[in-house]
Amino acid sequence: MAEAGEFEEGPVPRRGRIRHGLTLVLVAALLGGGFYGAYNRVWGSEKKPVVQPACTPVTPTPPPTVKAGLVYVNVFNASDRAGLADETARLLEHRGFHVISVKNDPVPRSVQGVGEVRYGPNGATVANTIAAQVDGVKLVEDNRADPSVDLALGPKFQHLNPLPPARPGSFTLNVYNTTWKPGLAGDTAAALKKRGFRIGEVGNDPQKSFITTVGVLRFGEFGKPAAERVALQIKGLKLVEDNRKNSSVDLVLGTKFDSFVPKAQATVPPKPTPTPTRESRAGCTP
């Protein structure tokens, strides 16, 4: 038996041995993890995030143009379609351009695609204005001294870019009735006049037609923008081109006509005429 002040020596309790072993394992794990992290930092085996450069797109700037009345253009046919230059020249004159001459292309080489706009060093802005009338046309600079331009129409040329709907008061609108409803043309004309349209003839259809749909819009080669403005007022109208040579439009009412499109929805702002843009490459900044 141990005396006072002495401790009796005996075996270490089993629980103490287990706790001691776990402590050693945790210390070893921490040391190993620290060594692995230091190894990666020193020798670079740890994957580093890759910083991608930020691409800043460059917005193309539309080139400068001038008013149509300041443009003098030669219209050449560089295709095998007879009358193409003459037809296009008439449309350009209606849009306010000055046409100098109309003939087959005098340049002794083949024109590919939609066509070419040829211009000299003093005619770049004028060339931009003509190019805005034709999608896909190619700008070709030559050595002429004056600001005139040539529009050479190629084999893939189809038509000039469409104009936006015309202003309501910029053309004459005739309103005709083909139904048995008395006063239909007069009432419709009065309502359209309040919307700003310039009304011409009003009454029964002089062509004596009988239309069983909503109605028909008749117009000539220069009247499509005007017809499109009228079509915004009434749903279901059919557009029919005839041989008139002015921009007047006939609104011919049928038996299914009964209402207008609300004014707020019928005054959609016109789309701007497409403007050509020069090629621009997107740049990237780090």
* 10-residue stretch averages of pLDDT, the chain, 286 residues long: 46 52 50 50 53 62 89 97 96 96 95 96 96 96 96 96 95 98 97 98 97 98 96 97 95 97 80 45 38
Domain boundaries, the chain: 68-153, 168-253
Neighbours of 138 (CB within 10 A): 16
Give the burial class of 43: count Cβ atoms within 10 A of its Cβ; 0-12 exposed, 13-18 middle, 19 or more buried. Answer: exposed
Hey, is 283 helix, strand or coil?
Answer: strand
Q: pTM to 2 decimals?
A: 0.67
**pLDDT value at residue 63:** 82
Residue type, 10: G
Six-digit token pair at 257? 């006509």
CATH number of 68-153: 3.30.70
**pLDDT value at residue 62:** 74
- Phi (first) and psi of residue 195, to 5 degrees: -90, 5
**pLDDT value at residue 40:** 52
**pLDDT value at residue 104:** 97
Six-digit token pair at 77? 């046919």
Neighbours of 257 (CB within 10 A): 23
Q: How far apart are CA 279 and CA 277, in angstroms?
A: 7
Q: How far apart are CA 161 and CA 222, in angstroms?
A: 13
Q: How far apart are CA 128 and CA 68, in angstroms?
A: 11
Report DSSP letters for 104-169, one per residue.
Answer: E--SSSPPPSSEEEEE-TT-HHHHHHHHTTSTTPEEEE---SSS-EEEEE-TT---PPPPPPPPGG
Match 């230091």 to its residue by tokens. 38
Six-digit token pair at 205? 């259809």
**pLDDT value at residue 59:** 62
**pLDDT value at residue 20:** 53
